[in-house]
């Protein structure tokens, strides 16, 4: 049977004139995710945030994929604003609840960009709010939506990501924030040349999370194949 991948959606602010009849948010996902998931041996299912009954939402899902998005409200991890851009609370709060339930259910989880940040926050760590001003000699991590920045990352020997991608790989990067450290129960799996954590994985090998965008580069297909293997190992 083909595994089902539950895919979180980005939250876009609706036009103010339409919120009364249509609601505050629009939900969607970039086509780059659709292209990647279409090539994988799984069935993608978009998760609309209609409820906080997370267990019910995840009952029919074999893998959770947490996609990219905007900056979380720094108050959610105990900081004041130090360079966050148009930060929001609603999606981060909802998605961290979804993540915690997925962990309770022992689902394999892939976190992408905002995904790794929300996993880190849910596990109790803070974010670097602006790499360009808070990291010494920073790399260029933040391009544009049309032209993401590209840079190599080094993979940590002994990790799943190293077994998948090798010692080093060029990735597609579009972010200005990152986790400041790896939470308990996780280990670092990838670093950029400026020391920014670009990947981590849980010690039980059920969670893989990366700061780059594998749906936009060569790393996505092999990472998803590994997620499918995790599902089959669980069965």
Q: Which two tokens stand for residue 86?
A: 């148009």
Catalytic residue among 162, 175, 176, 213: 213
pTM passes above 0.85: yes
Select the highest-mean-pLDDT range: 4-8, 40-44, 137-141.
4-8
pLDDT per residue over 105-150, tens digit each? 999 999 999 999 999 999 999 999 999 999 999 998 987 767 777 8
Would you state the pLDDT for residue 41? 80
> Which residues span the domain enclosing 163?
4-234
Known catalytic membership, residue 113 = yes
Number of domains in the chain: 1
Handedness of CA 82, 110, 89, 33 (dihedral sign): positive
Residue 90 pLDDT > 90: yes
Would you state the pLDDT for residue 6? 97
pLDDT per residue over 166-210, tens digit each? 999 999 999 999 999 999 999 999 999 999 999 999 999 999 999
Nearest by Cα to 61 from 31, 92, 101: 101
- CATH code of the domain covering residue 11: 3.40.50.880
Question: Using CA atoms, how far apart are residues 57 and 155, in angstroms rounded to an integer?
Answer: 33
What is the band of 40 on the pLDDT scale with cuts at 50, 70, 90?
confident
Residue 235 pLDDT > 70: no
What mean pLDDT is predicted for residues 158-169?
Answer: 96
Known catalytic membership, residue 215 = yes
Known catalytic membership, residue 175 = no
Nearest by Cα to 207 from 62, 55, 103, 126: 103
Residues 6 or more apart from 87 whose CB is under 8 A from it? Answer: 70, 71, 72, 73, 74, 81
Catalytic residue among 113, 162, 198, 201: 113
Q: What is the mean pLDDT of the chain?
A: 94
């Amino acid at each position: 049977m083909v595994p089902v991948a539950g895919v979180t959606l980005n939250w876009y602010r609706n036009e103010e004139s339409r919120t009364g009849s249509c609601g505050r948010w629009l939900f969607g996902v970039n086509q780059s995710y659709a292209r990647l998931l279409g090539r994988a041996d799984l069935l993608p299912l978009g998760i609309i945030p209609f409820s906080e009954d997370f267990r019910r939402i995840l009952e029919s899902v074999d893998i959770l994929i947490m996609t990219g998005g905007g900056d979380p409200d720094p108050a959610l991890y105990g900081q004041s604003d130090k360079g966050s851009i148009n930060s929001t609370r609603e999606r981060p709060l909802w998605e961290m609840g979804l993540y915690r339930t997925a962990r309770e259910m022992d689902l394999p989880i892939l976190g992408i960009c905002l995904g790794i940040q929300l996993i880190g926050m849910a596990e109790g760590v803070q974010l670097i709010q602006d790499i360009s001003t808070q990291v010494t000699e920073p790399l260029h991590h933040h391009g544009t939506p049309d032209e993401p920045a590209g840079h190599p990352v080094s993979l940590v020997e002994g990790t799943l990501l190293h077994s998948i991608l090798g010692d080093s790989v060029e990735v597609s990067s579009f972010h200005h924030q990152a986790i400041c450290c790896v939470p308990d129960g996780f280990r670092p799996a990838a670093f950029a040349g400026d020391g920014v954590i670009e990947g981590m994985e849980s010690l039980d090998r059920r969670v893989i999370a990366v700061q780059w965008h594998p749906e936009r580069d060569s790393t996505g297909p092999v990472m998803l194949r590994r997620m499918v293997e995790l599902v089959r190992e669980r069965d």
